[in-house]
A and B are shown apart, each in its own frame.
Chain A
Amino acid sequence: MVKMIHAADVHFDSTFGMLEVHKSEMRRRETRDSFAEMIRYAKSEQIDLMLLAGDIFESDYVSRETAEMLKEAFASIPECRIVIAPGNHDPYNDTSVYKKVKFPENVYIFTSEDVEFFDFPEINCTVYGYAFTSAYMETSPVCGITPSNPTRVNILLAHADLTSPIARKCPMTPRDIERAGFDYTALGHIHNTDGVHETANGKYYAYSGCFEGRDFGETGKKGAIAARIDKCEGKLSFEARFVYFSKRTYETRRVDITGAENATQIVEKLKSFVKEEGYNETTALKIVLEGFTDPLMKIFPAHIAEQISGLFALVITDETLPLYDCAYLETDPSIRGAFYDKIKPLLDSPDPEMRKTAALALRYGLTALSGADPVDFS
């Protein structure tokens, strides 16, 4: 039986959008801490095989400290075989850290865009994989590749994009995976995992997701997939579970603030929301304000966010609509009605961006018509 852990998209030294400088720096440190925790986990759980499916760091930003940290971390678990398939953010090339740094002997790195393999007969396992050598890989090298020794536990370690067959970062489809017939395909590239999938022919594949959320598009807890896989007389047994290592979670929530008449009320409402949801210092929260508000009430999200504490980070965006009685506006014979009449087709536009612009224009227009200042920026 092979005890393995599958992680990907650690993105060491990457940027953290929408955070203050010192918090971004903190997040970069925390990513290293989370990784160190996975290493400790591998040690305590006596993991045989660590699969890293690419984008371990960002070639553009990677620092020597990170390279050294990785080297030391890998060296601290000599009994664990660490296999790396470089991805589009950390491609294997002449300038790559993979090439510049001498990693310990228990680290196996794929170096070619063609499928290669590392055989570990002592654990009856073969790991196949390939490396990105630049930021793009237009076609998948896995096509037509199948495991050569069916008695082994055959694993494919791949940084690939299953979301679109025309993706430029190694497009692959679930059908390709099924046809290749690897017992487990450890995937990297997509940051939000949708769990472990079983193919029609009884094989498994999964994205482990990113290791730490980096922005509000990467919500929820993050970590790695810990799995046990065995093959006995051709019969495959597989069990997997997620192990979370992330220090913080990103959450994006929509809050309806209809009825709030001023900033204080909005702040109160959001404070109760944060409390009810149990968000705390480990949460980077994005709140999208929605609902209907007094058109003359100015909402400055940054000022509101400043008044709410107890979170790692809080970003507020305003998508509220001005509180107008649209039925009334439709029949309003004044300039307001006429203006609404002109904007209305755009509010119903099939283009969501146009709808947003139209809603904003309606708010600004009605504000200006009321004689108030429509300035909505600081």
Chain B
Amino acid sequence: MIIEKIRIECFGNLENRQFEFCEGVNIIEGANESGKSTLAAFIKFIFYGLSSKAKDSGLSERERYVSWKTGSAGGSLILRVGEGRYRIDRAIMSSGQTSENGEKKVTYREGVGIVDLSNNSPIKVKEEPGEYFFGVDADVFARTAFVSQLDGARIDGEKMTQAIENILFSADENVNVQKAIKKLEASRVALLHKNAKGGKIYEFEATRAELEAKLEGARRINADILAKESSLEDTRVRLADIEKKRKLLAGGIKAFENATVLTLFDRLRTLRQMSEEYKKKEGEFCTRYEKDGFVPDKEYVGQLYKKGEARKIAAEKLELERVRLGEAETAANEIRRGVPEFLSEIKDWSSDEQASFRGEGVKKTLALLGIVFGVLALVMLGVGALAKFKLGLDDMGLAVMLAAVFPAALSVLMLVLAGVRAKGLKKLYSKYGASRRADFEAAIITLKLAREKASAADEVTAQARTELDAADRAHKRAEAEFYDLAQKWNNENDLSTVIKAAEEVVAELDKIRSDMSKASEMISMLEVQLAPYDEETLRAESGDQASDEVNAENVAEKRREYDFLTAQAKANEAKLHELEKELAALRPQCENPARIAEKIDLVKAYIEEYTKKHAAYVLAAEKILEAGDGMRENVSPKLAEYTCKLMGGVTEGKYREIGVDSELSVSVNAGGAARKLDYLSAGTQDAAYVSLRLALINTLFRKTSPTVIFDESFSRLDKDRLGGMMRLANTLSENGMQSIVLTSGPREADTMKDIGEYNVITMDRA
């Protein structure tokens, strides 16, 4: 495409201006603010219109380029495409409107037309003229055909190598596949980590699990509450029913009780009357049976019995003592009869006993002395014999033998005396019927025992006599006492008659008094029992109440029923309180399960939405990666090929190859050695960048190549680099591509003089 002419009616600060261009390099020189960039913007406006989107400056293209004086922007451009010549006319008009809420609103109307200059007929197209002629949209046009300022290793503040890589890998200077994938990955990770242990989806899943557990609990509690509330209601109904029944029963029972109490009042009255009658009867009876003011009573009867008994015991005792005396006397006689006759005559045996003792002693002493003297005589006789006959001591022996006569005589004397004494003793013993001392002693003992027994029997007899006397006195006394007692009330002396009569009186009186006492007891009891009641009130009440249902026969049954109902009511009240307590404890715990379920639904909706988005991020990243691989395989080599063609021209054949190294970065082949772009001179980087831009145009603009606009692109380049760039522009024109170089100085034109043909347009300040 070749732009032949531009006519600006009004655009930004340019008004009524016209520019003509040559086919090759057009250098537009103008000071700052002379409208060079506006001219470049006008070219884009003609092909694509003005965007309403606000730029970084805060103004949209429309606001920037539509004149605030005329409220319009417009002009035309004549271009040549192949053999055809066309004119594009475009105008935009603004108009102000005030909206309902008072705000001023600007609306724009835009018109565009293409005229085929070969026949001056309009061409009807739906798309923008730029899309019609170039086959690319405004964005691609701006990103490729407009080359902004080259600033060392940077373009528009971005690293140039980055831009080059972007072009190579994505066929777009501003598109960085790696960055795009990173962004998609970041979004994906924010939604769900690869290990599924983090991200929003994970958090929502956790929330969901938490809520589901909560829901389960809330459902359970809700069901529990419902069951308990039902139970509570049932209990209340049951309680009310019980109360109703109780009230009914209580009414009946109360009426019955009133009637009963009134009966008791009647009974009390009757008893009081009876009590009076008993008192009267008692008085009459006492008058009839009294003697000297004494009326027998139980005590008197008791005394009668007691005295009668005492009299009986005394008589029995007297009789017993009489028998005992008889027995004692008989026993004493028996003892006396048991002693031999001769012994019974001996009064004092103690002197005999002593005489015996003494006589026996003397007898024994005399006998012993007789023996001793005899032995002594024999010994002296022996000794004298021995001395005389054996020893020869005749005299002496004889003397001794003679001397022995004296002891012998003594011995005989003693023995005779002993014999006399023994005779005396024998006589003594014969008195006791004994011949020997042993028998004498036995007789003495027998006598002693008989005497002791007789004495004892006598004592017993005497004692019995004493006892008999005492019994006799006691008997007489008892008789007298009984008589006195009987005489107190009766003149009878017969025990049974007296007692019987007294008992009859006492029994009769007792009966009267017992009846009286019973009546009194009953009266007291009834008085206590009836104390809380007022008879008159009860009589008034009982008039209103009817207790047909309750009667004496079924009152116990009704009371039991009432008690049962009371117990039942109590149990139900306890249950009611228990349920109320349980519900009070449960209710604060229970969150409405429907609300939790709604939260779960919301969380699920988020999970579903985010899961879809997550899948979309994953898919986008995956497909961009695949697309990037495809680009490197198919598009990048073509771009590189065309770029090299251009670069070869610019660098006079030094760099003929540009490609991608193993680290996926761009490198340039210089003399067989691949060198990374970063290490190359700024001029070479410029050349590579612009060449790639142009290669991109060649790739993207399928219908026709646009005019390449260098907007102050070379202002900061040194002479050599500027030369390289101008050579590139010249190369382009040789390849049929028109270029417009916007510059504020003469450097580009001066450089171009040595390179090739060019056209200079000077812009004055608008």
Question: A residues within 8 Å of B by Cβ?
Answer: 13-19, 21, 24-25, 28, 58, 60-64, 67, 95, 97, 100-101, 261, 325, 328, 331-336, 338-339, 341-343, 346, 353, 356-358, 360-365, 368-371, 373-377
Min CB–CB distance B649 → chain A (angstroms): 23
Question: Is B172 a contact partner of A336 (Cβ separation < 8 A)?
Answer: yes
A-B contact pairs, 8 of them (CB 8 A): A18-B601, A101-B230, A335-B170, A335-B624, A336-B172, A365-B623, A373-B183, A375-B186
Question: Is B610 a contact partner of A335 (Cβ separation < 8 A)?
Answer: no
Interface bits B579-599 vs A (CB < 8 Å: 1, else 0): 000000000000011110110
Which of A95, A335, A357 interacts with B172 by CB under 8 Å? A335
Min CB–CB distance B725 → chain A (angstroms): 24
Question: Is A15 a contact partner of B597 (Cβ separation < 8 A)?
Answer: yes
Min CB–CB distance A257 → chain B (angstroms): 16
Question: Is B225 a contact partner of A64 (Cβ separation < 8 A)?
Answer: yes
Question: Is A24 a contact partner of B171 (Cβ separation < 8 A)?
Answer: no
- Docked Cα-Cα span, A25 to B631, in Å, equals 57
A334-B140, A338-B627, A365-B180 known; 19 other A-B pairs, CB under 8 Å? A16-B598, A21-B595, A25-B595, A61-B594, A67-B230, A100-B227, A261-B53, A332-B700, A335-B172, A341-B630, A342-B623, A342-B630, A357-B615, A358-B616, A365-B184, A365-B623, A368-B183, A369-B172, A377-B191
Which A residues are in CB contact (< 8 Å) with B174?
A: 370-371
Question: Is B170 a contact partner of A368 (Cβ separation < 8 A)?
Answer: no
Question: Is B700 a contact partner of A334 (Cβ separation < 8 A)?
Answer: yes
A358 and chain B: residue at smallest CB distance: B619
Min CB–CB distance B639 → chain A (angstroms): 9
Which of B140, B184, B605, B612 interacts with A368 by CB under 8 Å? B184
Question: Is B52 a contact partner of A261 (Cβ separation < 8 A)?
Answer: yes
Q: Given known contacts A61-B592, A61-B597, is B620 in contact with A362 (CB within 8 Å)?
A: yes
Which A residues are in CB contact (< 8 Å) with B229?
A: 64
- Docked Cα-Cα span, A13 to B702, in Å, equals 65
Which B residues are in CB contact (< 8 Å) with A363?
A: 616
Min CB–CB distance B628 → chain A (angstroms): 6
Q: Given known contacts A61-B222, A97-B226, is B700 in contact with A333 (CB within 8 Å)?
A: yes
Which of A19, A346, A371 interacts with B619 by CB under 8 Å? A346
Question: Is A361 a contact partner of B230 (Cβ separation < 8 A)?
Answer: no
Min CB–CB distance B231 → chain A (angstroms): 9
Q: Is B386 an interface residue (CB 8 A)?
A: no
Most A CB within 10 A of own CB, among B171, B609, B620: B620
Q: Is B561 an interface residue (CB 8 A)?
A: no
Question: Is B630 a contact partner of A338 (Cβ separation < 8 A)?
Answer: yes
Q: Is B369 an interface residue (CB 8 A)?
A: no
Q: Given known contacts A358-B619, A369-B175, A374-B184, is B700 in contact with A335 (CB within 8 Å)?
A: no
- Docked Cα-Cα span, A64 to B233, in Å, equals 10
Question: Is A335 a contact partner of B53 (Cβ separation < 8 A)?
Answer: no
Question: Is A341 a contact partner of B627 (Cβ separation < 8 A)?
Answer: yes
Which A residues are in CB contact (< 8 Å) with B702?
A: 331
Question: Is A343 a contact partner of B616 (Cβ separation < 8 A)?
Answer: no
Question: Is B175 a contact partner of A371 (Cβ separation < 8 A)?
Answer: yes
In the complex, the 5 A-B pairs of residues with the closest C-beta atoms, listed nearest first: A335-B170, A360-B616, A338-B627, A365-B620, A334-B171
Which B residues are in CB contact (< 8 Å) with A368?
A: 179-181, 183-184, 620, 624
Min CB–CB distance A293 → chain B (angstroms): 13
Question: Is A343 a contact partner of B613 (Cβ separation < 8 A)?
Answer: no
- Docked Cα-Cα span, A57 to B230, in Å, equals 17
Min CB–CB distance B702 → chain A (angstroms): 7
Question: Is B177 a contact partner of A335 (Cβ separation < 8 A)?
Answer: yes
Which B residues are in CB contact (< 8 Å) with A343?
A: 619-620, 623
Which B residues are in CB contact (< 8 Å) with A95?
A: 223, 227
Q: Is B756 an interface residue (CB 8 A)?
A: no
Which B residues are in CB contact (< 8 Å) with A261?
A: 52-53
Question: Is B175 a contact partner of A18 (Cβ separation < 8 A)?
Answer: no
Question: Is A18 a contact partner of B624 (Cβ separation < 8 A)?
Answer: no
Question: Is A334 a contact partner of B175 (Cβ separation < 8 A)?
Answer: yes
Q: Given known contacts A261-B52, A338-B630, is B230 in contact with A369 (CB within 8 Å)?
A: no
Q: Is B240 an interface residue (CB 8 A)?
A: no
Interface bits B129-142 vs A (CB < 8 Å: 1, else 0): 00100011100100
Q: Given known contacts A60-B593, A100-B227, is B635 in contact with A364 (CB within 8 Å)?
A: no
Q: Given known contacts A60-B593, A61-B222, is B187 in contact with A374 (CB within 8 Å)?
A: yes
- Docked Cα-Cα span, A223 to B612, in Å, equals 36
Q: Is B626 an interface residue (CB 8 A)?
A: yes
| Total contacting residues, chain B, CB less than 8 A | 63
- Docked Cα-Cα span, A360 to B595, in Å, equals 32
Q: Given known contacts A328-B137, A377-B613, is B181 in contact with A24 (CB within 8 Å)?
A: no
Using a Cβ cutoff of 8 Å, how many contacts connect chains A and B? 176
Min CB–CB distance A165 → chain B (angstroms): 30
Question: Is A331 a contact partner of B187 (Cβ separation < 8 A)?
Answer: no
Question: Is A60 a contact partner of B219 (Cβ separation < 8 A)?
Answer: yes
Q: Is B699 an interface residue (CB 8 A)?
A: yes
Q: Given known contacts A331-B702, A335-B169, A376-B613, is B605 in contact with A18 (CB within 8 Å)?
A: yes
Question: Is B628 a contact partner of A335 (Cβ separation < 8 A)?
Answer: yes
Q: Given known contacts A335-B171, A365-B620, is B598 in contact with A21 (CB within 8 Å)?
A: yes
Which A residues are in CB contact (< 8 Å) with B624?
A: 335, 339, 342, 365, 368-369
Question: Is B630 a contact partner of A364 (Cβ separation < 8 A)?
Answer: no
Question: Is A376 a contact partner of B187 (Cβ separation < 8 A)?
Answer: yes
Q: Is B617 an interface residue (CB 8 A)?
A: yes
Q: Given known contacts A334-B170, A364-B187, is B594 in contact with A339 (CB within 8 Å)?
A: no
Q: Is B574 an interface residue (CB 8 A)?
A: no
Min CB–CB distance B257 → chain A (angstroms): 37
Which B residues are in CB contact (< 8 Å) with A376?
A: 187, 613
Which A residues are in CB contact (< 8 Å) with B567?
A: none
Interface bits B26-37 vs A (CB < 8 Å: 1, else 0): 000000000000
- Docked Cα-Cα span, A132 to B135, in Å, equals 67
Which A residues are in CB contact (< 8 Å) with B223?
A: 95
- Docked Cα-Cα span, A273 to B509, in Å, equals 121
Which A residues are in CB contact (< 8 Å) with B172?
A: 334-336, 369
Question: Is A338 a contact partner of B175 (Cβ separation < 8 A)?
Answer: no
Question: Is A377 a contact partner of B619 (Cβ separation < 8 A)?
Answer: no
Which B residues are in CB contact (< 8 Å) with A353?
A: 612
Which B residues are in CB contact (< 8 Å) with A24?
A: 594-595, 598
Interface bits B145-180 vs A (CB < 8 Å: 1, else 0): 000000000000000000000000111101111011
B52 and chain A: residue at smallest CB distance: A261
- Docked Cα-Cα span, A293 to B635, in Å, equals 29
Question: Is A335 a contact partner of B631 (Cβ separation < 8 A)?
Answer: yes
Question: Is B226 a contact partner of A63 (Cβ separation < 8 A)?
Answer: yes
Query: In chain B, residues 596-646, which have Cβ atoms closer than 8 Å to a Cβ of chain A?
Result: 597-598, 601-602, 605, 609-610, 612-613, 615-617, 619-621, 623-624, 626-628, 630-631, 635
Q: Is B391 an interface residue (CB 8 A)?
A: no
- Docked Cα-Cα span, A356 to B616, in Å, equals 9
Query: In chain B, residues 42-70, which have Cβ atoms closer than 8 Å to a Cβ of chain A?
Result: 52-53
A16 and chain B: residue at smallest CB distance: B598
- Docked Cα-Cα span, A60 to B309, in Å, equals 99
Question: Is B594 a contact partner of A13 (Cβ separation < 8 A)?
Answer: yes
Which B residues are in CB contact (< 8 Å) with A63?
A: 222, 226, 592
Which B residues are in CB contact (< 8 Å) with A357?
A: 612, 615-616, 619
Q: Is B200 an interface residue (CB 8 A)?
A: yes
Most B CB within 10 A of own CB, among A63, A97, A338, A376: A338
Question: Is A331 a contact partner of B135 (Cβ separation < 8 A)?
Answer: yes
Min CB–CB distance A36 → chain B (angstroms): 20
Q: Is B190 an interface residue (CB 8 A)?
A: yes
Q: Given known contacts A16-B598, A24-B595, A346-B619, is B699 in contact with A364 (CB within 8 Å)?
A: no
Which of B170, B594, B619 interacts with A14 by CB under 8 Å? B594
- Docked Cα-Cα span, A148 to B631, in Å, equals 79
Question: Is B601 a contact partner of A369 (Cβ separation < 8 A)?
Answer: no
Query: In chain B, residues 488-510, which have Cβ atoms closer than 8 Å to a Cβ of chain A?
Result: none
- Docked Cα-Cα span, A373 to B185, in Å, equals 11
- Docked Cα-Cα span, A62 to B137, in Å, equals 61
B144 and chain A: residue at smallest CB distance: A334
Which B residues are in CB contact (< 8 Å) with A342?
A: 623-624, 626-627, 630
